[in-house]
Structure 1
Amino acid sequence: MGHVATPSTDRRAALSLFSRLRTAEGQQDPFPIYAELRSRGGVVPAPWGGLLVTDFDLCDRILRSANWLEPDARWREKQGPRTRWSAPSAREISRTLPALNPPEHTRVRRAAGSFDRGTIQQIGQTVEQIVEQLLGSFSDQLREGEADFAALVGEQLPIATIGDWLGLPRADWARLRELTHDQVFTQELLPNASQLARSDIAMAELRSYFIELVRERRRHLREDPVSRWITTWDAMEPDQDKADEAVYFLALFVLLAALETTATLLSTMTLQLVDHPDHWNLIAGRPDLIPAFVEETLRFDPPSHVISRVAAADCTLEGLDVGADDMVHLMIGAAHRDPAKHADPDRFDPHRKAAHLAFSGGIHYCLGAPLARLEAQTLLRQLVHRLPQLTLVRRPAMAPRVAFRRLLNLDLALA
């Protein structure tokens, strides 16, 4: 696993690496920087305090352990009024399902239900139709020359899928997608003041939107998830205002979880497909490898590169002291390239059984993982079946982020 240097030495080295990681070049290809970080050991001090973890197995154990908690509302309040954790968007996101700890997490997750086999089969029929329509429009655009796959397909499929499932008006989809892009900065590793301000504005608008949606559904209950959540919470919570607030946070969470990371997965998967013609030929001839191709994409370049946890009690990690409430950042993007876990980790291999942490782990394993897989597999199957082989026109630009990956464009043309 390598040696662990003195904290001060490691912090200076990590600061240099993160300075490079935040450049356009670093965001385009962070993996050489991650390799340098891994070379300093599986656990190193972060420049701003806390620890960085790059060892795959250790990241996995932390995600599954009850000794490591989400930085929830209680933790954020303890950080003080002039920190990023006190921003309105940070306080709001701390009340959604992924940021809760037991016992509240257990209660809310039970109320949320799950994307079980029956639900996925039902949604699957809709996804098939949406993908067919989107690829039809994309194909028409290709006849005029190049077309942006990220804008025309990757960004459209998740909002159309979740928007249809939640019963959101189609006219609202584009705005909700834009708001999701802005709010994610409050969940970033190192957001600056202007990014947090954008998050605050977006979150306020999202709150107004979904609060009104819950009120409208309460007035006119129907067969949709929001109405079912209202009925569920009414049986759990006698205070109607508190019940409606709980439903709001569930609806908000589902939208945020369904859009940003899934859109990145779809575009990243397609980039891998067109970047290597042998991949296109392989999947076209071996459709049974489609699930494995999706999983390898999630390992090779996951939509989220960082997951943060805080210690429930004093402990040590690889000989470094960790105090109760200290934060560790699990560098998932780096851990996925850990050579102790994966042979030849920098090679994209659709044949490998790709163990990954893209959907987190333990009690916080992603509720929407089956839906993300459904969308990705459906898109990949139709893409190689319906369209001739495509070629990459130019390298995509990346959004200015460290934790949440996003391709700003994916310009393709007929090969």
Structure 2
Amino acid sequence: MIGVDAPVLDVDPFALDVLADPLPADTAIREAAPVVFLPAHGLYATGRHALVSAAFRDAATFSSAAGTGLADIRRGEGWRPPSVLLDTDPPEHDAARRVMNRVLSPRALAELEERFAVVAADLVDEACEQGELDAAGIAERFPLTVLPDAVGMASEGRDHLLPYAALNFESMGPPGVLRDAAERGAAVGAGEWSTAREYVTWQMRREALSDDGIGAAIYAFADRGDVTEADAGLLVRSFLSAGIDTTVLALASVVHELARRPEVWALLRDDPSRVRAVFDEGMRLHTPSPVIGRTTTRPVELDGVTVPADARVLLCLGAANRDPRRFADPDAFDPFRTAGAVTFGAGVHNCVGQAIARLEAQALLGELARRVERIEPAGESVPRLSNWLRGFSSVPVRLVPSSKEAP
């Protein structure tokens, strides 16, 4: 195309057939060139690990302030107030980030670990009794229980959380059937709330939260003047909009892999402390948030390609996490692989909730490893079609309980 200093690639990463089988498109974007131009959406994209990682670490050049989806929130294209975490750059980003780091302190996480373990034990009890089940179900129930409890949410109205999160993620992609379906789902009322948006607006208030959860701790920092009252509410909202679906998909994807890899399951049973490594490797192969957008603040040269100022650049995390330039045998599941995946981002915008996601994995997968001798596929897993997420909507498995629990 005229004026584009990059190879033009006729690939639409948001086409339904691509979303159903995304790896060929990931490979095409990554291998065609370090940076390509995608005319379907008028943006640049990179699937190279080195460039994705570098862009994450250069917030001054690759800005989040225009939004991290396809819509430009500077032009009023967003459907909700911008996130004070995702949609800002330093120094505006710094105060909110400091509050979240303090709220999710090691002491707070240790307390959550104990609570998560109790819920995991109950769910695994039920799963073992069923024997054959859809692992996507337990992967959904666990985060939907422990995260709202940790935030201090009211018990009523939680059935709005998944429709709201779906609207959040599908709206980051282009208009179409997936976004339309999410908007319809979020518009269905339940209880005293007429829509999911109305519920979340109610739930993010100080008055709707318990006085002993993460939400109350965030508002305590507003009382100290570290953030405004309004920004405290938006920080609470970030847990409601982005902290559930990604973990649900990650847990289901890891179980999908473990059911097909008995040698890895045996390793995990022998040494449950390897849960984090197994979880991280599963997310590398099935990156729950496979793309994220940035906007250039200046002309920048990327490996010989000049990207102009104010250009949208799609960072393809799923493609980068299988980049053979960074990972040996990148399509293999290797529980001993060293760190390096960009699943949680990097730099100032690395995912602040990753510690909670790993705690959830430690609790649920660790309990399964202690209680279940074997996990076997009970059918084909079904991919979830989503503009901005990746994983499985169904993972049928068969659990063979152990007569003797693992250590």
The 3-state SS of whatever aligns with 1:388 is: strand
- With over 3 angstroms needed to count, the CA separation of the structure-2 counterparts of 1:410 and 1:49, relative to structure 1, is same
| Bigger shift: residues 66-75 or 344-353 | 66-75
Decide whether the 8 Å contact of 1:398 with 1:407 is kept in 2: yes
**Are 1:390 and 1:412, in contact at CA under 8 Å, matched by a contact in 2?**
yes
Query: Which of 45, 51, 63 is the aligned partner of 2:44?
Result: 51
Q: Hey, what's the Cα distance between the residues in 1 that align with 2:332 and 2:177?
A: 37
Structure 1 position 68, deviation (Å):
1.2
Question: Which of 166, 189, 212 is the matching residue for 2:202?
Answer: 212
Structure 1 stretch displaced more, 95-104 or 60-69: 95-104
What does residue 70 of structure 1 align with? Answer: 64
Looking at structure 1, the residues matched to 149 and 213 of structure 2 have their Cα atoms a distance apart, in angstroms, of 10
Q: 1:335 aligns with which of 320, 325, 329?
A: 320
The answer on 1:347 being equivalent to 2:332 is yes
Paired with 2:120 and 2:375, the residues of 1 have a C-alpha distance of 17
Q: Provide, for residues 76-126 of structure 1, a one-character-per-residue CA deviation record: whole Å limited to 9, x for no partner.
A: 2555x6xxxx1424xx3x234211112221122223334221111000001
The partner residue of 1:149 within 119, 123, 135 is 135
Structure 1 residues 170, 135: CA separation in 2 closer, same or farther (over 3 Å shift)?
A: farther
Aligned to 1:3: none
Cα offset, 1:230, TM superposition: 2.5
The one of 64, 75, 97 equivalent to 2:85 is 97
Asked if 1:259 is matched to 2:244, the reply is yes
- Structure 2 gaps of 5+ residues are 188-193, 401-407
Following TM superposition, by how much is the alpha carbon of 1:298 offset from its aligned partner in structure 2, in angstroms?
2.0
> Does the Cα contact within 8 Å between 1:183 and 1:200 map onto a contact in 2?
no
d(CA) in 1 for partners of 2:107, 2:73: 40
More helix by proportion, 1 or 2? 1
Structure 1 residue 221: Cα displacement: 7.4
- 1:257 deviates by 2.6
- Name the residue aligned to 1:42: 34
The answer as to whether partners of 2:135 and 2:396 remain within 8 angstroms in 1 is yes
* Alpha-carbon offset, residue 193 of structure 1: 6.7
Equivalent residues in 2 for 1:128-139, closer than 5 Å? 128-139=117-128
In the TM superposition, what is the alpha-carbon distance from 1:196 to its structure 2 partner? 5.3
* Alignment TM-score, normalising by the size of structure 2: 0.86
Aligned-partner residue type, residue 331 of structure 1? C
- The 1-side partners of 2:160 and 2:55 are apart by 36
Once the two structures are TM-superposed, the CA of residue 360 in structure 1 deviates from its matched residue by 0.8
Aligned counterpart for 1:140 among listed residues 114, 129, 152? 129
Q: Give the number of aligned pairs.
A: 387
1:198 equivalent among 182, 186, 189: 182
Contact preservation (8 Å) 1:289, 1:351 = no
Partner Cα distance (1:287, 1:231) in 2: 36
3-state SS of 1:380 partner: helix
Q: Which of 300, 308, 331 pairs up with 1:315?
A: 300
Q: Distance in 2 between matches of 1:314 and 1:160?
A: 46
Counterpart AA for 2:24:
P
The 5 A counterparts of 1:174-193 are 174-188=159-173, 190-192=174-176
Taking the aligned partners of 2:204 and 2:292, their CA distance within structure 1 comes to 30
Task: Show the counterpart of 1:236.
Answer: 225
CA distance in 2, matches of 1:73, 1:28: 25
> Paired residue for 2:95, among 79, 85, 107?
107
Kindly report which structure 2 residues correspond to 1:281-296, keeping only aligned pairs within 5 A, or say none: 281-296=266-281
Amino acid at match of 2:186: A
Q: Deviations over 1:219-265 (max 9, x none)?
A: x972333233233223328xxxx944222211110222320111111
1:121 aligned partner: 110
Displacement of 1:133 in angstroms is 0.9
How far, CA to CA, are the matches of 1:394 and 1:221 in structure 2? 42
Q: Distance in 2 between matches of 1:330 and 1:107?
A: 25
Q: For 1:381 and 1:162, how far apart are their aligned partners in 2?
A: 18
Q: How far apart are the structure 2 equivalents of 1:200 and 1:234?
A: 37
The answer as to 2:257 corresponding to 1:272 is yes
Q: Identity over the aligned pairs, expressed in percent?
A: 24
Distance in 1 separating the partners of 2:127 and 2:396: 11
Stretches of structure 1 lacking an aligned partner (at least 5 in a row):
1-5
Q: 1:399 aligns with which of 356, 360, 384?
A: 384
- TM-score normalised according to structure 1 size: 0.84
More divergent stretch after superposition (356-365 vs 288-297): 288-297
Structure 2 counterpart SS, 1:155? helix
Alignment RMSD: 2.8
Amino acid at match of 2:15: R
How far 1:349 sits from its partner (Å)?
0.7
